[in-house]
């Protein structure tokens, strides 16, 4: 499993969705046929969008001051992922695409969670504890 407890934010919905993303990234890295790869990429594309929307709703619910900046990271990533997906579908599981999967899906998610999602979580917990 690619997810580990250091990635935990403590917000149940967010953590469950992150785990799902890493599980699918794992499937993508292990996929041995074009059908499986396409399926994993399609799932990731739609689940990423859903996950970002849910996170942004959470940001809005507590008037997160960095919501717009954070949404910018999400929007940028959706574009990056789309390009990666097109390339992967076109070329298949080449070594360079496998390496890109590791960097673009796993690496980006980990960095984003550790820095930006954790920063939000800290704010969210402080804000909801005051209520």
Measured from the CB atom, is 15 or 55 closer to Fe ion? 55
Measured from the CB atom, is 36 or 74 closer to Fe ion? 74
Q: What is the DSSP string of 66-108?
A: THHHHHHHHHHHHHHHHHHHHHHHHH-S-HHHHHHIIIIIIIH
User: Where does this chain bind Fe ion (CB under 5 A)?
Assistant: 55, 117
Measured from the CB atom, is 15 or 117 closer to Fe ion? 117
To the nearest 10°, the Cα dihedral for 28, 31, 36, 38? 50
């Amino acid at each position: 499993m690619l997810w580990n407890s250091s990635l935990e934010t403590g917000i149940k919905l967010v953590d469950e969705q992150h785990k799902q993303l890493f599980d699918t990234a794992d499937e993508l890295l292990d996929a041995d046929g074009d059908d499986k790869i396409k399926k994993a990429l399609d799932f990731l594309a739609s689940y990423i969008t859903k996950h970002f929307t849910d996170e942004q709703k959470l940001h809005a619910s507590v008037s997160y001051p960095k919501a717009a900046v954070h949404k910018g990271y999400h929007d940028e990533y959706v574009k990056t992922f789309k390009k990666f997906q097109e390339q992967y579908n076109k070329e298949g599981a080449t070594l360079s695409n496998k390496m890109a999967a590791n960097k673009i899906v796993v690496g980006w998610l980990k960095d984003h969670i550790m820095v930006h999602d954790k920063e939000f979580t800290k704010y969210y917990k402080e804000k909801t504890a005051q209520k």
